[in-house]
Amino acid sequence: MSRAEPILAYGSGMAFARRGGSLALRSKVSRLLGEGGHSISFEFFPPKDSDAEDALWGALIQLEDFDPSFVSVTYGAGGSTRDRTIDITSSIGRRTSLTTIAHLTCVGSSRAELHEVIDGYSEAGIENVLALRGDPEGGLGVPWVSHPDGLDHAIQLVEMLRERGDFCVGVAAFPEGHPESASLEQDARVLADKQRAGAEFAITQFFFRADDWFGLRDRAEAAGCTMPILPGIMPVTNLAQIKRFSALSGAEFPAALAARFETVADDPAAVRALGVEVATQLCEALLDGGAPGLHFYTLNRSSATREVYRNLMGRPDLERH
Ligand SMILES: Cc1cc2nc3c(=O)[nH]c(=O)nc-3n(C[C@H](O)[C@H](O)[C@H](O)COP(=O)(O)OP(=O)(O)OC[C@H]3O[C@@H](n4cnc5c(N)ncnc54)[C@H](O)[C@@H]3O)c2cc1C
């Protein structure tokens, strides 16, 4: 996705209450990913009001039952959720045994302001950060204008995070290539460079064709990138919403798939059921093809993600995650 809530929700995470129930047992994501098996993770966005916060906690509690590897919390476009991202990420850390990742973007911030946020993450006990550039203030398609004393690319934020604290740093990856990338190969080289700068894992934009993720994995490997690249899964629950998200993020909603959804467009329950079926098939293809885990864009709701995950239960490769 290309922009944080309220338009798009960025976030994800790994939780492990049942894995020990103690704060001391929470880990850096890199360690969890290195344990073998497949990771399962969920992304959330910071709630705007108390009703939204109740919904978020409801979703978190239900998804915690799946013993996820981590959960992540997005950072609003232009830094708009800065304090809420810190608050909700540290609150999840305090109130659950989930391992958390806080997102952070460069948009509209000076280096000094980024230092302040990073120090805030450290003070709040946040150990895992997803380092992102963010979209240009006018959205994708509008030229990127950096803050006069800011950063231009996520790789610089990776370096800053690694220099300033003891963080495990993740980055974004794009199965169809980032819309501003000159080529898919250049896009993969950027990912490999982010690893060289200190990134330890990547999470992808949502996508609908397993082959796009396989292509990214192969290009990344050819460029020297060895870190886990977790596929981002967005179960379709609402046709208008997914079209909007696709337009905002540059991720294609393939025409053949859109045509299948159009046949049931007047029936929200059928759209949702098809969305769960399509996401389940995508997850199966990815796992069969060697994906190291699955990262679900939950939009702060748990039911579709739970249905997809239930459909996958029983797979031996998901027994340990
Ligand atoms: C998993 C995930 C989570 C996200 N969470 C959020 C969020 O919480 N909040 C939010 O606002 N946005 C979020 N985004 C959206 C993201 O900020 C946008 O997609 C943004 O446009 C690109 O971010 P990036 O970190 O990939 O940027 P970059 O890595 O800087 O890449 C941006 C473009 O610049 C190119 N590039 C990178 N480095 C160089 C270089 N050194 N020289 C030349 N070109 C270069 C890349 O190829 C790419 O085309 C998320 C995206 C994903 C996939």
Residue 16: per-residue pLDDT: 28
Could you tell me if the CB of 181 is within 6 A of ligand 1?
yes
CATH class of the domain whose range is 7-318: alpha beta
Position 138, amino acid: G
Dist. CA 157–CA 117, nearest whole Å = 12
Residue 321: per-residue pLDDT: 57
Cβ neighbours around 164 below 10 Å, total:
14
Dist. CA 172–CA 310, nearest whole Å = 27
What is the distance in A from the centroid of ligand 1 to the CA of 133? 5
Residue 11: per-residue pLDDT: 33
Residue 83: per-residue pLDDT: 87
Could you tell me if the CB of 32 is within 6 A of ligand 1?
no
- List the domain boundaries for the chain: 7-318
Residue 214: per-residue pLDDT: 98
In which residue ranges of the chain is pLDDT below 70?
Answer: 1-26, 319-321
Nearest Cα residue to 208 out of 172, 245, 181, 179: 245
Could you tell me if the CB of 3 is within 6 A of ligand 1?
yes
Q: Which residues contact 112 (CB under 8 A, 6 or more apart)?
A: 149
The residues assigned a catalytic role are 43
Residue 22: per-residue pLDDT: 32
